[in-house]
Structure 1
Amino acid sequence: MSSLSIMLRKVRAVLLRSGVAAQDADDLVHEAFVRLESYARKQEIRSQEAFLVTTAMNLGRDQARHRARVPVDSEEFDILSLADAAPLPEEQLLSQERLRRVGTGLDRLDPQTRRCLLAKRLDGLTAVQIAEREGLSVAAVEKRVARALLFLAQWMGES
Protein backbone atom coordinates (compact mmCIF):
# COMPACT_ATOMS: atom_id res chain seq x y z
CA MET A 1 0.00 0.00 0.00
CA SER A 2 1.42 3.41 -0.96
CA SER A 3 2.19 6.09 1.58
CA LEU A 4 -0.43 8.35 -0.04
CA SER A 5 -3.25 5.85 0.46
CA ILE A 6 -2.13 5.27 4.07
CA MET A 7 -2.13 9.02 4.67
CA LEU A 8 -5.60 9.39 3.10
CA ARG A 9 -6.92 6.53 5.28
CA LYS A 10 -5.55 8.28 8.37
CA VAL A 11 -7.27 11.52 7.39
CA ARG A 12 -10.54 9.64 6.81
CA ALA A 13 -10.21 7.96 10.21
CA VAL A 14 -9.68 11.33 11.92
CA LEU A 15 -12.83 12.66 10.24
CA LEU A 16 -14.86 9.63 11.29
CA ARG A 17 -13.66 9.98 14.90
CA SER A 18 -14.70 13.64 14.87
CA GLY A 19 -18.27 12.67 14.03
CA VAL A 20 -18.35 13.14 10.26
CA ALA A 21 -20.67 10.68 8.54
CA ALA A 22 -18.94 7.94 6.56
CA GLN A 23 -20.57 9.00 3.29
CA ASP A 24 -19.24 12.55 3.77
CA ALA A 25 -15.75 11.59 4.92
CA ASP A 26 -14.61 10.39 1.48
CA ASP A 27 -15.81 13.62 -0.16
CA LEU A 28 -14.03 15.73 2.44
CA VAL A 29 -10.78 13.76 2.03
CA HIS A 30 -11.01 14.18 -1.74
CA GLU A 31 -11.65 17.93 -1.47
CA ALA A 32 -8.77 18.30 1.01
CA PHE A 33 -6.47 16.42 -1.38
CA VAL A 34 -7.49 18.67 -4.29
CA ARG A 35 -6.70 21.71 -2.15
CA LEU A 36 -3.38 20.17 -1.13
CA GLU A 37 -2.39 19.68 -4.76
CA SER A 38 -3.43 23.21 -5.68
CA TYR A 39 -1.62 24.75 -2.72
CA ALA A 40 1.52 22.63 -3.28
CA ARG A 41 1.93 24.13 -6.75
CA LYS A 42 2.34 27.62 -5.25
CA GLN A 43 3.80 27.00 -1.80
CA GLU A 44 6.04 24.56 -0.02
CA ILE A 45 4.21 22.25 2.37
CA ARG A 46 6.14 20.87 5.35
CA SER A 47 3.71 18.11 6.23
CA GLN A 48 1.19 16.89 3.68
CA GLU A 49 -0.60 14.79 6.30
CA ALA A 50 -1.02 17.75 8.67
CA PHE A 51 -2.25 19.90 5.81
CA LEU A 52 -4.76 17.24 4.77
CA VAL A 53 -6.06 16.68 8.31
CA THR A 54 -6.43 20.40 9.02
CA THR A 55 -8.09 21.10 5.68
CA ALA A 56 -10.46 18.13 5.93
CA MET A 57 -11.46 19.06 9.50
CA ASN A 58 -12.11 22.67 8.48
CA LEU A 59 -14.16 21.52 5.51
CA GLY A 60 -16.15 19.26 7.83
CA ARG A 61 -16.86 22.15 10.21
CA ASP A 62 -17.88 24.37 7.30
CA GLN A 63 -20.21 21.65 6.03
CA ALA A 64 -21.79 21.20 9.49
CA ARG A 65 -22.32 24.97 9.84
CA HIS A 66 -23.88 25.13 6.40
CA ARG A 67 -26.23 22.26 7.17
CA ALA A 68 -27.24 23.92 10.44
CA ARG A 69 -28.16 27.10 8.57
CA VAL A 70 -29.77 25.39 5.58
CA PRO A 71 -31.40 22.22 6.92
CA VAL A 72 -33.01 21.27 3.61
CA ASP A 73 -30.85 20.12 0.72
CA SER A 74 -31.87 22.21 -2.30
CA GLU A 75 -31.78 19.14 -4.56
CA GLU A 76 -34.20 17.29 -2.30
CA PHE A 77 -36.42 20.32 -1.70
CA ASP A 78 -40.07 19.62 -2.38
CA ILE A 79 -42.16 22.77 -2.50
CA LEU A 80 -45.36 20.75 -2.11
CA SER A 81 -44.23 19.58 1.32
CA LEU A 82 -44.35 23.09 2.74
CA ALA A 83 -47.24 23.77 5.05
CA ASP A 84 -49.22 26.95 4.69
CA ALA A 85 -48.32 29.13 7.67
CA ALA A 86 -51.30 31.43 7.19
CA PRO A 87 -53.99 31.08 9.85
CA LEU A 88 -57.18 29.30 8.93
CA PRO A 89 -60.20 31.49 8.10
CA GLU A 90 -61.83 30.54 11.41
CA GLU A 91 -58.71 31.61 13.31
CA GLN A 92 -58.64 34.90 11.42
CA LEU A 93 -62.28 35.57 12.32
CA LEU A 94 -61.65 34.75 15.98
CA SER A 95 -58.63 37.07 16.06
CA GLN A 96 -60.61 39.87 14.45
CA GLU A 97 -63.42 39.37 16.96
CA ARG A 98 -60.94 39.45 19.88
CA LEU A 99 -59.46 42.69 18.53
CA ARG A 100 -62.91 44.23 18.22
CA ARG A 101 -63.71 43.13 21.76
CA VAL A 102 -60.45 44.60 23.12
CA GLY A 103 -61.14 47.83 21.22
CA THR A 104 -64.60 48.05 22.78
CA GLY A 105 -63.09 47.41 26.21
CA LEU A 106 -60.47 50.11 25.66
CA ASP A 107 -63.26 52.52 24.69
CA ARG A 108 -64.93 51.85 28.06
CA LEU A 109 -61.84 53.06 29.96
CA ASP A 110 -61.60 56.71 30.89
CA PRO A 111 -59.33 58.58 28.43
CA GLN A 112 -56.43 59.15 30.81
CA THR A 113 -56.35 55.50 31.93
CA ARG A 114 -56.48 54.38 28.27
CA ARG A 115 -53.57 56.70 27.42
CA CYS A 116 -51.55 55.37 30.37
CA LEU A 117 -52.19 51.75 29.40
CA LEU A 118 -51.39 52.27 25.72
CA ALA A 119 -48.27 54.29 26.52
CA LYS A 120 -47.06 51.48 28.80
CA ARG A 121 -47.98 48.50 26.60
CA LEU A 122 -47.69 49.82 23.06
CA ASP A 123 -45.20 52.66 23.31
CA GLY A 124 -43.04 50.93 25.93
CA LEU A 125 -42.82 54.00 28.15
CA THR A 126 -41.93 53.67 31.81
CA ALA A 127 -44.30 54.72 34.58
CA VAL A 128 -42.04 57.71 35.28
CA GLN A 129 -42.25 58.87 31.65
CA ILE A 130 -46.03 58.43 31.59
CA ALA A 131 -46.40 60.25 34.92
CA GLU A 132 -44.48 63.23 33.56
CA ARG A 133 -46.52 63.23 30.37
CA GLU A 134 -49.90 62.89 32.10
CA GLY A 135 -49.18 65.06 35.12
CA LEU A 136 -49.74 62.17 37.55
CA SER A 137 -47.69 60.51 40.24
CA VAL A 138 -45.84 57.31 39.37
CA ALA A 139 -48.05 55.38 41.80
CA ALA A 140 -51.18 56.74 40.11
CA VAL A 141 -49.91 55.62 36.71
CA GLU A 142 -49.11 52.14 38.01
CA LYS A 143 -52.56 51.85 39.60
CA ARG A 144 -54.30 53.01 36.42
CA VAL A 145 -52.38 50.51 34.29
CA ALA A 146 -53.08 47.67 36.75
CA ARG A 147 -56.79 48.51 36.97
CA ALA A 148 -57.03 48.79 33.18
CA LEU A 149 -55.41 45.40 32.71
CA LEU A 150 -57.70 43.84 35.32
CA PHE A 151 -60.75 45.40 33.68
CA LEU A 152 -59.72 44.20 30.20
CA ALA A 153 -59.00 40.68 31.45
CA GLN A 154 -62.46 40.52 33.00
CA TRP A 155 -64.01 42.17 29.95
CA MET A 156 -62.42 39.58 27.63
CA GLY A 157 -63.44 36.74 29.93
CA GLU A 158 -67.11 37.70 29.56
CA SER A 159 -67.14 36.88 25.85
Structure 2
Amino acid sequence: MENLRDILAKARRVVLRKGISPQDAEDIVQSAYTRVHAFEQREIVRSQEALLITAAVRLAYDERRRQDRAAMFEKVDEVPSVADDAPLPDEILRAQQRTARLKEGLDRLPERTRRILLSRRLDGLTYKQIAQIEGSTEAAIEKQVARATLELMNWVNGW
Protein backbone atom coordinates (compact mmCIF):
# COMPACT_ATOMS: atom_id res chain seq x y z
CA MET A 1 0.00 0.00 0.00
CA GLU A 2 1.21 3.48 -0.83
CA ASN A 3 2.27 5.74 1.97
CA LEU A 4 0.06 8.58 3.16
CA ARG A 5 2.14 11.31 1.53
CA ASP A 6 1.69 9.73 -1.94
CA ILE A 7 -2.06 9.31 -1.40
CA LEU A 8 -2.45 12.95 -0.34
CA ALA A 9 -0.40 14.12 -3.36
CA LYS A 10 -2.57 12.03 -5.70
CA ALA A 11 -5.75 13.43 -4.12
CA ARG A 12 -4.36 16.95 -4.52
CA ARG A 13 -3.65 16.36 -8.24
CA VAL A 14 -7.19 15.04 -8.78
CA VAL A 15 -8.67 18.09 -7.02
CA LEU A 16 -6.51 20.46 -9.07
CA ARG A 17 -7.84 18.84 -12.27
CA LYS A 18 -11.35 19.75 -11.08
CA GLY A 19 -10.44 23.44 -11.44
CA ILE A 20 -9.71 24.23 -7.82
CA SER A 21 -6.92 26.69 -6.97
CA PRO A 22 -3.75 25.21 -5.44
CA GLN A 23 -4.39 26.85 -2.08
CA ASP A 24 -7.99 25.63 -1.96
CA ALA A 25 -6.85 22.18 -3.11
CA GLU A 26 -4.60 21.91 -0.04
CA ASP A 27 -7.51 22.84 2.22
CA ILE A 28 -9.85 20.39 0.49
CA VAL A 29 -7.41 17.48 0.72
CA GLN A 30 -6.76 18.28 4.39
CA SER A 31 -10.49 18.39 5.09
CA ALA A 32 -11.03 15.14 3.19
CA TYR A 33 -8.21 13.46 5.14
CA THR A 34 -9.71 14.63 8.45
CA ARG A 35 -13.11 13.23 7.50
CA VAL A 36 -11.66 9.92 6.26
CA HIS A 37 -9.56 9.56 9.41
CA ALA A 38 -12.65 10.14 11.61
CA PHE A 39 -14.60 7.63 9.50
CA GLU A 40 -11.79 5.06 9.86
CA GLN A 41 -12.13 5.28 13.65
CA ARG A 42 -15.73 4.05 13.40
CA GLU A 43 -15.74 1.80 10.34
CA ILE A 44 -13.49 -0.65 8.51
CA VAL A 45 -12.07 0.89 5.33
CA ARG A 46 -10.91 -1.37 2.51
CA SER A 47 -9.09 1.34 0.53
CA GLN A 48 -7.99 4.50 2.28
CA GLU A 49 -6.79 5.91 -1.06
CA ALA A 50 -10.15 5.44 -2.83
CA LEU A 51 -12.07 6.86 0.10
CA LEU A 52 -9.76 9.86 0.41
CA ILE A 53 -9.87 10.66 -3.32
CA THR A 54 -13.67 10.27 -3.44
CA ALA A 55 -14.09 12.53 -0.42
CA ALA A 56 -11.69 15.11 -1.90
CA VAL A 57 -13.49 15.11 -5.26
CA ARG A 58 -16.87 15.61 -3.59
CA LEU A 59 -15.49 18.45 -1.49
CA ALA A 60 -13.98 19.94 -4.66
CA TYR A 61 -17.38 19.88 -6.36
CA ASP A 62 -18.91 21.55 -3.31
CA GLU A 63 -16.20 24.21 -3.41
CA ARG A 64 -16.78 24.85 -7.13
CA ARG A 65 -20.50 25.29 -6.50
CA ARG A 66 -19.73 27.69 -3.65
CA GLN A 67 -17.36 29.67 -5.89
CA ASP A 68 -19.91 29.79 -8.71
CA ARG A 69 -22.58 31.10 -6.35
CA ALA A 70 -20.15 33.65 -4.92
CA ALA A 71 -19.21 34.75 -8.44
CA MET A 72 -22.89 35.23 -9.20
CA PHE A 73 -23.20 37.61 -6.24
CA GLU A 74 -20.01 39.41 -7.19
CA LYS A 75 -21.49 40.08 -10.63
CA VAL A 76 -24.59 41.50 -9.00
CA ASP A 77 -22.41 43.78 -6.87
CA GLU A 78 -20.56 44.95 -9.98
CA VAL A 79 -23.74 46.22 -11.61
CA PRO A 80 -23.48 49.97 -11.53
CA SER A 81 -26.22 51.67 -9.71
CA VAL A 82 -28.37 53.62 -12.08
CA ALA A 83 -29.78 56.83 -10.75
CA ASP A 84 -33.32 57.56 -11.74
CA ASP A 85 -33.30 60.92 -13.48
CA ALA A 86 -37.06 61.20 -13.36
CA PRO A 87 -38.20 64.03 -11.11
CA LEU A 88 -40.04 63.28 -7.92
CA PRO A 89 -43.82 63.81 -7.88
CA ASP A 90 -43.58 66.94 -5.73
CA GLU A 91 -40.97 68.38 -8.11
CA ILE A 92 -43.31 67.74 -11.04
CA LEU A 93 -46.14 69.46 -9.22
CA ARG A 94 -43.98 72.50 -8.40
CA ALA A 95 -42.81 72.71 -12.01
CA GLN A 96 -46.41 72.58 -13.23
CA GLN A 97 -47.39 75.29 -10.78
CA ARG A 98 -44.44 77.47 -11.85
CA THR A 99 -45.36 76.97 -15.50
CA ALA A 100 -48.95 78.00 -14.80
CA ARG A 101 -47.68 81.05 -12.91
CA LEU A 102 -45.35 81.90 -15.81
CA LYS A 103 -48.25 81.64 -18.26
CA GLU A 104 -50.26 84.05 -16.11
CA GLY A 105 -47.30 86.45 -16.13
CA LEU A 106 -46.98 86.21 -19.92
CA ASP A 107 -50.69 86.93 -20.27
CA ARG A 108 -50.23 90.11 -18.22
CA LEU A 109 -47.56 91.46 -20.58
CA PRO A 110 -48.61 93.83 -23.37
CA GLU A 111 -49.14 92.00 -26.68
CA ARG A 112 -46.10 93.52 -28.44
CA THR A 113 -43.79 92.86 -25.46
CA ARG A 114 -45.00 89.26 -25.20
CA ARG A 115 -44.49 88.75 -28.96
CA ILE A 116 -40.93 90.17 -28.79
CA LEU A 117 -40.01 88.10 -25.73
CA LEU A 118 -41.35 84.87 -27.21
CA SER A 119 -39.62 85.56 -30.53
CA ARG A 120 -36.33 85.88 -28.68
CA ARG A 121 -36.72 83.10 -26.09
CA LEU A 122 -38.76 80.49 -27.92
CA ASP A 123 -38.13 81.14 -31.60
CA GLY A 124 -34.46 81.99 -31.06
CA LEU A 125 -34.52 85.07 -33.29
CA THR A 126 -31.72 87.59 -32.88
CA TYR A 127 -32.37 91.11 -31.64
CA LYS A 128 -31.59 92.37 -35.11
CA GLN A 129 -34.15 90.07 -36.73
CA ILE A 130 -36.82 91.04 -34.21
CA ALA A 131 -36.03 94.74 -34.70
CA GLN A 132 -36.53 94.35 -38.45
CA ILE A 133 -39.84 92.53 -37.96
CA GLU A 134 -41.14 95.02 -35.40
CA GLY A 135 -39.77 98.07 -37.16
CA SER A 136 -37.72 99.15 -34.15
CA THR A 137 -34.06 99.52 -33.15
CA GLU A 138 -31.96 96.69 -31.81
CA ALA A 139 -31.32 98.57 -28.57
CA ALA A 140 -35.05 99.08 -27.99
CA ILE A 141 -35.71 95.36 -28.53
CA GLU A 142 -32.89 94.40 -26.12
CA LYS A 143 -34.32 96.69 -23.43
CA GLN A 144 -37.84 95.39 -23.96
CA VAL A 145 -36.67 91.75 -23.68
CA ALA A 146 -34.66 92.57 -20.55
CA ARG A 147 -37.58 94.39 -18.88
CA ALA A 148 -40.07 91.64 -19.80
CA THR A 149 -37.70 88.96 -18.49
CA LEU A 150 -37.19 90.84 -15.22
CA GLU A 151 -40.94 91.41 -14.83
CA LEU A 152 -41.67 87.71 -15.41
CA MET A 153 -38.94 86.61 -12.96
CA ASN A 154 -40.39 88.90 -10.30
CA TRP A 155 -43.91 87.67 -11.07
CA VAL A 156 -42.95 83.99 -10.77
CA ASN A 157 -40.64 84.42 -7.75
CA GLY A 158 -43.07 86.70 -5.93
CA TRP A 159 -45.62 83.92 -5.82
Please, what TM-score do these two structures have when normalized by structure 1?
0.49
Larger radius of gyration: 2
Please, what TM-score do these two structures have when normalized by structure 2?
0.49
Greater relative contact order (Cα < 8 A, sep 6+): 2
